[in-house]
């Protein structure tokens, strides 16, 4: 099917030794033999192989054929993990939102705060993880705007853990630094006082401001239910 075209071999590092030998033979002889066939079939294809494994290390460990590795490794293009090219995250996220909206006939948008939180997460699952989380938020959220309160706990917990570490001067934009400090102060006030009214009094700001910031930073879990108590005279 790939004759005079391109054959993409994904996860080449997972290929068994038996299949590695057959692939090497096809690359060297430019022909294949069908199962049960008697006559070799000439092939002319361009091979593109991909893997997230260290093939050189696998060759040293005897897990990947040395001759196949050098046959494949003619031109190497390294695609960095998402954590090393975070400048791509905003554009990728917006593109994913467009695709997911079209897929489910939705008209949802994602807030800047959510994208900011994405920039602080290392994405061990790379773009697949970004796609899955974005799709989950759009599908599971009833509101048309995806806000920070809708971000999964795995991302929020990572951000909280990072915020407990000191950040070197010059590595954070002023707006981000202000928001981080603001969130920490509100979080500390809520943990200490337990209610938005008392927290607002301690921070010398309006209660409505505290409530709005709680929603923005996803701190609702720190608030205890507040009730008005009246006593008979």
CA dist 16 and 22 (Å) reads 10
Q: Find out if CATH 1.10.8.60 is the number for domain 82-159.
A: yes
CA dist 4 and 25 (Å) reads 18
Both tokens assigned to 142: 């009833």
**Non-local CB neighbours of 138 within 8 Å, separated by 6+ positions:** 97, 100, 101, 104, 106, 108, 146
Q: What is the pLDDT along the chain (233 residues), one digit of tens a residue?
A: 899 999 999 999 999 989 999 999 999 999 998 888 889 999 999 999 999 899 999 999 999 999 999 999 999 999 899 989 989 999 999 999 999 999 999 999 999 889 988 988 999 999 999 999 999 999 999 999 999 889 988 888 887 777 555 544 444 455 566 677 778 888 888 888 888 888 888 887 888 888 888 888 888 777 665 544 444 44
List the domain boundaries for the chain.
6-72, 82-159, 166-222
CATH number of 166-222: 1.10.10
| DSSP 8-class letter at 88 | G
Q: Find out if CATH 3.40.190.10 is the number for domain 6-72.
A: no
Helix (H, G, I), strand (E, B) or coil at 100: helix
Q: Is the pTM of this model over 0.75?
A: no
């Amino acid at each position: 099917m790939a004759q005079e075209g391109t054959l993409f071999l994904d996860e080449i590092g997972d290929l068994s030794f038996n299949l590695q030998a057959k692939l090497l033979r096809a690359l060297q002889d430019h022909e294949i033999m069908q199962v049960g066939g008697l006559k070799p079939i000439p092939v002319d294809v361009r091979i593109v192989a991909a893997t997230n494994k260290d093939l050189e290390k696998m060759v040293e460990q005897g897990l990947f054929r040395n001759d196949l590795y050098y046959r494949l490794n003619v031109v190497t293009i390294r695609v960095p993990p998402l954590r090393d090219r975070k400048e791509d995250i905003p554009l990728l996220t917006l593109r994913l939102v467009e695709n997911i909206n079209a897929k489910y006939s939705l008209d949802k948008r994602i807030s800047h705060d959510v994208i900011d939180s994405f920039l602080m997460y290392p994405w061990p699952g790379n773009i697949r993880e970004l796609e899955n989380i974005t799709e989950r938020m759009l599908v599971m959220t009833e509101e048309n705007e995806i806000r920070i309160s809708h971000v999964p706990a795995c991302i929020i917990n990572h951000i909280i853990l990072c915020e407990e570490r000191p950040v070197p001067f010059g590595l954070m934009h002023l707006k981000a630094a202000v928001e981080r400090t603001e969130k920490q102060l509100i979080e500390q006030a809520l943990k200490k006082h337990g209610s938005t009214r008392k927290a607002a009094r301690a921070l010398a700001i309006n209660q409505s401001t505290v409530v709005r910031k709680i929603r923005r930073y996803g701190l609702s879990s720190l608030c205890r239910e507040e009730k008005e108590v009246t006593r008979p005279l």
